Structure 1
Amino acid sequence: MKNDRVLALTGATVLVGASLTPRRDCTVLVSQGRVSAVGADVVVPSAARVLDLPGHTVLPGLIDTHVHLGAPEEPPGRPVRGRAGRPGAGGGLRTGPGLAGRLSTGAAQVRAVADRMRFQPRKRRAFLEHGVTTACSLGDDNAWVHDFRRRTAEGGLVGPRLLIAGPLFTAPGGHPVATLGAEPGADWVRVPHCREEAREQVAALATGDDPVDVVKVVQDRGDPRRRSLEPIAPGVLAAIADEVRRHGIPLVAHWGTLEDLAELLDAGVDVLQHLEPRGPLHGWPPHLLDAMVREGVALAPTLAVTEALPDEEAAASLRARAAEFLDAGGTLLAGSDAGMPAVRAGAGLVREIELLASCGLTPRQALTAATSAAARALDAPHLGAVEPGRAADLLAVRGDPLADLGALRRVALVLRDGRAVVDRTREKAS
């Protein structure tokens, strides 16, 4: 639900356009959920609500390219588990006999509470409080996440804008079937056994009144020192990729080894998620690095996950590989993998941006990975930049994040479709 009243953000430094070009003492006009004007000489309508933000920076709302929405977040130190024992998976509210019994009595209040809780109110609030206005769900119960997306889009739920893959595609002996016990018929996985079945399953997700935004595949051989996994067969993978291209949406992939990477590049992947020690720990093979850059494949290294590795040398090597990919001309994206036990909604993406900067990226490059580059890779041209016509999903922070990324931890205002969902502008700066 969009806010009909014109809002003017004045007196701030605004990071304008896909390149996040800073313009000082600038005005942003917001109308009907969109940015209508940006500049130093914008005329503010007399009926507009004016919010003066000296000392603040306005930038696009952050985009987390990799989240799992399903499981409620537990206190730090406790595992987050969803359906079939999968961390961060499953969309349903876990109802014990007591709650089920109360629901059967027809108590409207209990039913309403249960309905709200199953759509993760704490997680939704945490994303927004950290300036994350868009989250890309890469593996959640299909019917549930479609319902979640509809409710947030219509304004029934206050939360980030959702881009969704629905279920993920894997092999009968692949992750998460072999690793986390996901039933092959569960609503958050698809396990095609042949090319025709793969095409049918992709088409079912990518068409209709409520199609998915991306399709995700898991191409992962595991770790032969611990557990080998079954990757998707080459013919089935090619059929998935070809059908995804036919419907004009991005193909996103979880991968582990360099052999997995080569097969995904042959199939035509658009976005790679993760950068693990099983991959290019000691350097990129030149032919694979060249192919990634040449084909415009984006990489979200999810460093917030591998930061927890006990081997700091390995974690440092992965950060070096991310920097090499960027230096070669590749596009890095910010994705937290929120839903994993060590990664919190919202806070995980802010940490991911900081870790990208620790790889040698400038603050602007790190912020671009979470804004305009993410929007481009996910084929969401209405997001990711402060410019006329784009969605008014905006973030205002105290200070200058181009000089100090710590400013991202001083969120003053968050707009979602032009509506203030976080407003701390009346608080005194500490």
Structure 2
Amino acid sequence: MVLRFLTRFMLIILVIILLLGIPGYVYYTLTLYKPKTVQKGYLALTRASVLVGENLNSFMDSTILIKDGVIVKVGNSSDITIPEGAATLDMNGCTVMPGLIDMHVHLSSYEHQVNKVLNFLSMPKMLADLVRFTPDKRQALLKNGVTSVCSLGDEYKWIMDLKKQIRDGVLEGPRIFAAGPVFTIPGSHTTDVLGADPESVRLPSTPEEAQRMVRELAHNDEPIDLIKVVQDRGDRQHALHPVAHDILHAIVNEAHNHSLPVVARWGTEEDLQDVLDAGVDSLQHLEDHTGDINNLWPDNILKLILNHNMPRIVVGTYAGMPGAFFGDGIHHEMEKLVESGLTPREALKAATSGAAKVLRTDYIGTIGVGQVADLIVIDGNPLKNIKDTRNIVMVLRDGRIVVDQL
């Protein structure tokens, strides 16, 4: 009798698990956001206004010929012979430009409004998103024309796994450039927030250890694309420990030895001087300690940056942090740059060719022969009105159409 009862009880538990597990598995499988196709053979985008090269020069009535995800010809439509059997899309009246690059995202962070308090009820959605590699964020980025992103602080194994799955065509999403673990020291801003988790931070105590850590990340099975360092002394209310000068220089020099760019988060003017003297390639978090980017920098800060040959502005939205959302934020950033005095062309370069230069990559960020076909098609002319970048009618990622609203 007892055995029969236990058997029936176990069967009931098993049935409950199956009933809960099957819908969960179906939901997981159907919502992963996978590529629908791979671009094979020839595809021609004809009669478009095309923004070509690093300077995004506009050419009317032009054709882009793509083969297997790579641009093979660009020029006047009358000068390009379209191969027989090629797929053809008429882009008359539209502008074709390079896909946008967001230089600062946190893909594993939970999107929410600034004043929203996260609680236990938020956990199921957060876990479901992480397990599925945040499909809503990947889709929102592509929908807004963001075909490449720079991850600056996601958990190391998680972001490298996501990068690989997108690269291998298992999942759909923007191209990922990943910094991996953040370089800092105990007591810094990053360890205050994340702790000393080796999946999130590297804490070298000597220059030699810093060099070894960089080498390991540069040459493992899934090498990183850049290094992020945090140099922040905090403020009077909360003093933080900076990275020692010899360690900071060792990180930057070893990264450059492996052709890796270095980005820096900094706090005080002294921190800024430290990272500039060390030779970092770009600066993050260009806001003062009030957190308000609209507050003007003192002239000495701006002169310090310009004197170190770092005048290039790129677009990074900080997406994933409270109030910073994926996709739409990059248009807001470009609009803000134009409001601040940049021309629309300069703002567009900050999100395309300029960003690609900071990443030290030569296959994205511009339209030209040999470039990957990461493209966006716009109804309008963003060189005249930067807000036209919101009028996206098509997005191509490696030549495959991932957004189609024509």
Supply the AA of the counterpart residue of 2:276: L
Answer with 237-246 or 58-67: which moved more. 237-246
Question: SS where residue 375 of structure 1 aligns?
Answer: helix
Q: Provide the C-alpha distance between the structure 1 equivalents of 2:52 and 2:316, rounded to a whole number of angstroms.
A: 22
Report the aligned-residue RMSD.
2.2
Aligned to 1:390: 371
Letter in 1 for 2:391: R
Displacement of 1:339: 1.0
Distance 1:124 1:250, change over 3 A: same
TM-score (norm 2): 0.84
Aligned counterparts of 1:123 and 1:390: Cα–Cα separation in 2 = 25
**TM-score, normalised with respect to structure 1:** 0.80
Looking at structure 2, the residues matched to 155 and 331 of structure 1 have their Cα atoms a distance apart, in angstroms, of: 33
Are residue 43 (structure 1) and residue 54 (structure 2) matched? no
Larger Rg: 2
Q: Does 1:217 align with 2:234?
A: no
Which sections of structure 1, spanning at least 5 residues, go unmatched? 82-91, 96-113, 298-329, 426-430
The residue type paired with residue 42 of structure 1 is I
Among candidates 358, 363, 367, match of residue 377 of structure 1: 358
Is the CA contact 2:112–2:323 (under 8 Å) kept in the aligned structure 1? no
CA distance in 2, matches of 1:15, 1:392: 13
| Mapped pair 1:119 → 2:133 | yes
Amino acid corresponding to residue 288 of structure 1 in structure 2: L
In the alignment, what sits opposite 2:276? 265
The alignment covers a number of residue pairs equal to 360
Equivalence for 1:62:
100
Runs of 4+ with >6 A deviation: none
CA separation of 1:214 and 1:93: change in aligned 2, threshold 3 A: farther
How far is the alpha carbon of 1:94 from its aligned partner?
5.3
- The equivalent position to 1:235 in structure 2, one of 214, 235, 246, is 246
Q: Conserved in 2, the CA contact under 8 Å of 1:202 and 1:243? A: yes
* Alignment check: 8 A CA contact 1:61 1:393 kept: yes
Deviation at 1:242, TM superposition (A): 1.6
2:173 maps to amino acid: G
CA offsets 1:217-270 (integer angstroms, 9 cap, x no match): 01111222x322111111211111121111111011111221111111111101
Percent identical among aligned pairs is: 44
> Which whole-Å deviations, capped at 9, do the CAs of 1:337-372 have from their partners, x for residues lacking one?
111111101111111111111110000000000000
Query: Does residue 53 of structure 1 match 2:65?
Result: no
8 Å CA contact 1:79–1:341 kept in 2: the answer is no
Q: Do the aligned partners of 2:65 and 2:82 also contact (CA within 8 Å) in 1? A: yes
Correspondence list, 1:242-257, <5 A: 242-257=253-268
Contact 2:113 2:323 survives alignment (8 Å): no
Distance, in Å, in 2 between the alignment partners of 1:212 and 1:261 is 24
After superposition, give the CA deviation of every residue in 1:44-85 in whole Å (9 maximum; x if it has no partner): 12211111111110000000111111123246753579xxxx
CA distance in 2, matches of 1:18, 1:289: 23
Please, which of 304, 319, 324 is the counterpart of residue 288 of structure 1? 304
Aligned with residue 337 of structure 1, among 314, 318, 329: 318
Q: Tell me how far apart the structure 2 counterparts of residues 220 and 184 of structure 1 sit (CA, whole Å).
A: 16
Question: What is the Cα deviation at residue 167 of structure 1?
Answer: 1.1
In structure 2, list runs of 5 or more residues that go unmatched.
1-36, 290-294
1:228 aligns to what SS in structure 2? coil
Q: Which amino acid aligns with 1:122?
A: D
Residue 277, structure 1, aligned to residue 288, structure 2:
yes
